[in-house]
Amino acid sequence: MDVSVLVYDGVFDSGLSAALDVLEAANAMRGELPQPPPAWNVTTIGFGPQVRTGAGHIVTTEPAAGADTADLLLVPALAERRPDALLERVAGPGLADVRELVAGHRGRGAPVASACTGTFLLAESGILDGHRATTTWWLAPLFRRRYPAVALDETSMVTTSQGVTTAGAAFGHVDLALAVVRMASPALADLVARYLVVDERPSQSAYTIPSALAQSDPLVAAFERWARRHLDTPNSLAEAARTLGVSERTLQRTVRRVLNTTPVRFVQDLRVEQATHLLRTTDLSLETIARKVGYEHAATLRTLLRDRTGTTTAGLRTTR
């Protein structure tokens, strides 16, 4: 497979390096398999002979026209955390060549892959419309407002939809590159992951900070503060709406629009977050923790924690 890795001014250094390192490791280890897949021919391309990364490093590149014959175009993330600045960059004239290259490559039916803020570039080019995608969890509300035609699933670490593969937050580039390897050889992807000590991370849910997502909207932020004050008691949506001065319907619609979830599930997320914190930082019994986060029975909390974090309460204890 010929892979063109697009390097552009302001590219996220670690994302670029992670993708290149995983593919290089796959090439180095493929001979350890009894039936190795073909090698990946990886070329870094750009719109000039040299490109300056987000951290100021200089990367030498081949002409971007090399993407015309590539089997896969991989677009690392943009090194920009500020939401307003991110949108200005991905939609601005400075990255017009990138958007045009992405759209043209996908227009020929060739696969495209990206991670983290790079998925904003894909969405801005129009290739994600009508498709399922993911991005870094904490930029999900911004992404959803900007690109309503994209079926965003920010809980996933990697998604593939009709030739376009996207991955989650910054170091999701590792998961993205492993997904590329897995398409050719699941056995080789597992081998590379073991050598690099990369755990399987099918979801971003365990990393999500609910309060960070809530801050993108004043009403949701107020609801989050109200819910935290009442974590140890059964929540009443009607009481919350009344306290916040809105109707239940308005509260439900706003939470759904901003967070793509229900108020009840959002409160559950807050309870999981607090329960996980207490498990990791105290010796309180599960029964006591359950009562502190609004559950009468420890079994209810145990089931919720397993569903949301993918691990047991004992496992959460041992990570402190």
50/58 Cα distance (integer angstroms): 6
pLDDT given for residue 296 in this prediction? 92
pLDDT given for residue 319 in this prediction? 57
DSSP 191-214: HHHHHHT-----BSGGG--HHHHH
114/118 Cα distance (integer angstroms): 5
Give me the helices (H) in 247-297, please.
248-259, 263-281, 286-292
- Token readout for 270 is 């807050």
Q: What is the pTM of this model?
A: 0.82
- Name the β-bridge partners of 24: none
Cα separations in angstroms, 20 against 75, 176, 177, 304: 11, 11, 8, 38
- Token readout for 211 is 């309060």
- φ, ψ (nearest 5 deg) of residue 58: -100, 125
SS3 74: strand
Type of residue numbered 121: L
Give mean pLDDT in consecutive 10-residue pieces for the chain, a chain of 320 residues.
Answer: 96 97 97 95 96 97 95 97 95 97 96 97 97 95 95 93 94 96 96 92 80 88 94 90 96 91 92 92 94 94 89 78
Contact predicate 95/114, CB 8 Å? no
Closest to 55 (Cα-Cα) out of 220, 170, 196: 170
pLDDT given for residue 211 in this prediction? 80
Closest to 270 (Cα-Cα) out of 235, 299, 244, 243: 235
Contact predicate 5/74, CB 8 Å? yes
- Token readout for 97 is 């060549």
pLDDT given for residue 185 in this prediction? 96
- 102 Cα distance to chain centroid: 20
